[in-house]
Amino acid sequence: MGASASLAVCRTIACPWLQRAPEVPGGGGPRPRPSSAPPWQFLVRAVAVITGLTLLLIVDVRGAAFYVAWALIVLALATEGLATLVYWRRSRSRPRA
């Protein structure tokens, strides 16, 4: 018996922890890529909120500037809430394996 044959016997009989794990088939689709940057929609909402707050702090809050500032803030928060709701519903509707 050669060295490779005895090693194979050791792997299968005496040392089961040395056996390779069976290959697991993939999930069927492409895996999401890990990203370190936030999505562009988040950045747009963050800029809208910061711009609205800056308008409220710096500009004389009367007339059109007041309404533009609050519209930016409310629109950003409403779209963030809507995006969260859509994500929540999509994650709950996927079948679990």
Neighbours of 16 (CB within 10 A): 8
pLDDT tens string 70-86: 999 999 999 999 998 99
For residue 27, the Cα-to-chain-centroid distance in whole angstroms is 18
State phi, psi for 89 to the nearest 5 degrees.
Answer: -65, -40
Return the closest-CA partner of residue 70 out of 45, 86, 53: 53
Neighbours of 72 (CB within 10 A): 21
pLDDT tens string 12-53: 555 555 555 556 555 566 666 666 777 888 889 999 999 999
Residue 63 carries which side chain, given as an amino acid letter? Answer: G
Reduced to 3 states (helix: H, G, I; strand: E, B; else coil), residue 37 is coil
**pTM of the entire structure?**
0.54
